[in-house]
Structure 1
Amino acid sequence: MTDYLTEWQSSGTNDCHYWERLKLIDMLDEALVFIDADTNKIVYMNKKACQLYEYNDSEALLLSLGDILCDPEHIAANQLNMLRAGNLKKSNYLTMHRKKNGQMLNVEVSAQFMRLHGTDTYVVVIRDMTADLLLKADVLRAKKIQRRLLPADIDNDVTIMKSIYEPHGHISGDLYGYIWQNGGTRLFGYIIDVMGHGIATALQAATVRLLFEQAAHLDVELNFKMAWLNENASPYFVEDSFAAVICFEIDFITHTLTCCAGGINHFIMLHDDRQHVMTVPGLYLGLMENATFDICRIQFNRGDSFFFLSDGFTEYLPEKSETIRSDFKTEYNRLLKLASGPHRDDATAMCFRIK
């Protein structure tokens, strides 16, 4: 408790309830500062504020607002003046403050103007934003790294692949990829959609991606690759987390699509410019260690298209009973518009047209 409060009590402040409230304020886990609105003198800092600025109680009582403020744009002065003029009831803003050793702090300030025992006073709560800003910087770096994990779109002699990748936040639980095999005559591809959002989800997605890259080279059928993937991915899914995935092989010699699903159980096929919603059964990845998976095979022709989608698109799938005329460009643009608009989930798609 600062000496100022002791002096305040002994100078005639007889409201014991008020005094007890001040003692409680000193125990708050938020940095709190009282500033005389006429002189800008700091008249009170609670313990948390003293720790934040690294002053002791006696030093704190010798400070003015200018001693802790580093505000070249005068944000604080403008906000406090508006509070006193009655133009604002409460002010919240970001600014820079200075510690005793000169170190600068990014802080969030919440301020109110009131009269305390006849004195016009700014009551200011300060939150150190250093950890938040470091976390935000880390998230933005993770976003860049995650984007670099994504392969380029394809336009070659056998196919066009155009991707859609719209995370719900800065980082995504979705990833996709492909690997050319058999001298470029077969393509192994996959989409990953891990439940949730955030850094932990992104790490799980990166782990599943690595396992898919390994599974692609196993000399077994696609459903056994998925079973191997599920068994090896299960230890990375804890506390009821799981992933929805789909993987596929497009053989451009035999004109055969082979597909295996683990929670992403639908994709769209365009054949003769008609849209078909295809269903492939399969449990989510990480739910059962010994799960088995099915495969489906589809013969395709030149001009056919396939659209593999993460769960962010599921609610926009047409009814299976609907027969809709469409083409690759129209369907791709429809999905791109849906992904670019308001959505509650990550939205990822790999869109193929066979040449």
Structure 2
Amino acid sequence: MSVAQTLLSQDMCEYCQRFDLLDMLNDAVLLLDAQDGDILFMNQKALELYQYDKSEMKALSITVLSHDAAETTKDQMAMVINQARKGFVFTANHVRKNGTIFKVEISARHLMMHGRNVVAALIRNVTIDAKIREEVAITGKIQRRLLPGDLETVLFHMCTIYQPLQGLSGDLYDVKYDDENRVLYGFIVDVMGHGLVATGQSGILRYLFRQAVEKRVPINGKLAWINNEVIPFFSSGGFAASLLFEFDFTRKILSYSSAGINQFFYLGGEEPAVIKSPGLFLGINQDETYDQSLLSFQSGDSFFFMTDGLFEMIQQPLAHSQTFRSMHELCKNLAVSQAIADDASAIGILIR
């Protein structure tokens, strides 16, 4: 570093030290010489981030702190200068004094200080953010893989729709087909929220559904049992909307019980209909009781059970010409439309 640069560095440090707010920021702050990239100032957060002390600061440059190629760093500095008025935001790989590499987001701007060309940069460590995003993406893939796919039997055809608003979803559905007794059990859930907590709670509900279908109690008794078991997992607040159904293909009877998902579509008879079914959300009241309703069905009838993110997108009343296939296509298109504002999930059942 030249004598002139040393004087500039000292001058800049004296200038910056007047602004105690710089050491109160949660982000690291760097002031760089715009021509050669030498470090003129680092606030306390920056010193901690890069593991240097103030006595070492004057010997540092951006090329020492950066793990990217020197040419890349030079190009980034040039871009900051070219975007002087707008500023420039980019990511880079930086390195600590101990040699550990980490990813940073840099918000930089070229300005004049004391008649000198300076680059002021806010540095944010995004390594943890990137790791979290990666884990969320993996969790989302696992969540999708756990869902049942379309199912075809001599008695029914089942299709499904699953479209999270973001990477993770509070929606979940599951089915279990008892081939020996010719009974199809199904469960659709909409947990409040879209993050990791909602994903975990929906997974617990799926596990409880699998246990509940083995219990020799009516469908509303199964739902009440699920509610009692899941209460501890909603102790910090929140709830889940759900609907539990059972198709008995021997008796040709649909039994269903609702807890917050209070309607579904029935395409049969003279015209399509919305079947109403009241019931309090899961996770609110211990020992809550739920109603059970019955509906007979025949070959050609179809049913669509869905979360409200999709249900509220469907214009009603449905057209008389609506079929199972056209309804499925409508739901698929709505689930990926720009207008969707929530997770969108559905189970469609066509009776053979």
Q: Are the counterparts in 2 of residues 277 and 318 from structure 1 also a CA contact under 8 Å?
A: no
Task: Name 2:329's counterpart in structure 1.
Answer: 333
Deviation at 1:12, TM superposition (A): 11
Do the aligned partners of residues 221 and 209 (structure 1) sit closer, same or farther apart at CA in structure 2, a change above 3 Å counting?
A: same
Task: Name 2:54's counterpart in structure 1.
Answer: 57
Structure 1's unaligned 5+ residue stretches are 1-5
Do the aligned partners of residues 318 and 11 (structure 1) sit closer, same or farther apart at CA in structure 2, a change above 3 Å counting?
A: closer
Alpha-carbon separation, structure 1, partners of 2:299 and 2:174: 23
Q: Which amino acid aligns with 1:344?
A: A
Task: Name 1:204's counterpart in structure 2.
Answer: 201
Output one character per residue of 1:32-55: Cα deviation in whole Å (capped at 9) or x when no partner.
111001221111111111111111
Output one character per residue of 1:126-172: Cα deviation in whole Å (capped at 9) or x when no partner.
00111101111111121122112111210111111010000111011
What does residue range 161-180 of structure 1 map to in structure 2 within 5 Å?
161-180=158-177
Deviation at 1:250, TM superposition (A): 0.5
Q: Are the counterparts in 2 of residues 75 and 95 from structure 1 also a CA contact under 8 Å?
A: no
Task: Name 1:3's counterpart in structure 2.
Answer: none
Output one character per residue of 1:227-258: Cα deviation in whole Å (capped at 9) or x when no partner.
11111111111343000000100011111111
Task: Name 1:302's counterpart in structure 2.
Answer: 299
Alpha-carbon separation, structure 2, partners of 1:25 and 1:300: 71
Is 1:257 the counterpart of 2:254? The answer is yes
Q: Which amino acid aligns with 2:115?
A: G
Deviation at 1:279, TM superposition (A): 0.7
Q: How many residues align?
A: 346
Deviation at 1:28, TM superposition (A): 2.6
Secondary structure of 1:316's counterpart equals coil
Task: Name 1:20's counterpart in structure 2.
Answer: 18
Secondary structure of 1:325's counterpart equals coil
Q: Which amino acid aligns with 1:325?
A: S
Output one character per residue of 1:78-107: Cα deviation in whole Å (capped at 9) or x when no partner.
343133235652111111112222221110
Structure 2's unaligned 5+ residue stretches are 1-5
Alpha-carbon separation, structure 2, partners of 1:7 and 1:73: 26
The RMSD of aligned alpha carbons is 2.3
Do the aligned partners of residues 19 and 53 (structure 1) sit closer, same or farther apart at CA in structure 2, a change above 3 Å counting?
A: closer
Secondary structure of 2:180's counterpart equals helix
Q: Are the counterparts in 2 of residues 244 and 264 from structure 1 also a CA contact under 8 Å?
A: yes
Alpha-carbon separation, structure 2, partners of 1:43 and 1:201: 47
Q: Which amino acid aligns with 2:208?
A: L
Deviation at 1:115, TM superposition (A): 1.1
Q: Are the counterparts in 2 of residues 249 and 259 from structure 1 also a CA contact under 8 Å?
A: yes
Alpha-carbon separation, structure 2, partners of 1:278 and 1:89: 56
Q: Which moved more, 1:93-102 or 1:194-203?
A: 93-102
Alpha-carbon separation, structure 2, partners of 1:189 and 1:43: 65
Normalising by the residue count of structure 1, what TM-score does the alignment of the two structures yield?
0.91
Q: Percent identity?
A: 34
1:144 to 141, 149, 152: 141
1:185 to 182, 185, 193: 182
2:192 to 190, 195, 207: 195
Deviation at 1:338, TM superposition (A): 0.5
Alpha-carbon separation, structure 1, partners of 2:345 and 2:25: 46
Alpha-carbon separation, structure 2, partners of 1:8 and 1:137: 43
Task: Name 1:266's counterpart in structure 2.
Answer: 263
Task: Name 1:77's counterpart in structure 2.
Answer: 74
Task: Name 1:276's counterpart in structure 2.
Answer: 273
Is 1:124 the counterpart of 2:116? The answer is no
Task: Name 2:243's counterpart in structure 1.
Answer: 246
Alpha-carbon separation, structure 1, partners of 2:271 and 2:194: 35
Task: Name 2:63's counterpart in structure 1.
Answer: 66
Alpha-carbon separation, structure 1, partners of 2:337 and 2:270: 26
Alpha-carbon separation, structure 2, partners of 1:258 and 1:318: 26
Deviation at 1:291, TM superposition (A): 1.6
Do the aligned partners of residues 264 and 201 (structure 1) sit closer, same or farther apart at CA in structure 2, a change above 3 Å counting?
A: same
Q: Which amino acid aligns with 1:40?
A: G
Do the aligned partners of residues 186 and 12 (structure 1) sit closer, same or farther apart at CA in structure 2, a change above 3 Å counting?
A: closer
Do the aligned partners of residues 43 and 87 (structure 1) sit closer, same or farther apart at CA in structure 2, a change above 3 Å counting?
A: closer
Do the aligned partners of residues 75 and 39 (structure 1) sit closer, same or farther apart at CA in structure 2, a change above 3 Å counting?
A: closer
Deviation at 1:8, TM superposition (A): 6.6
Normalising by the residue count of structure 2, what TM-score does the alignment of the two structures yield?
0.92
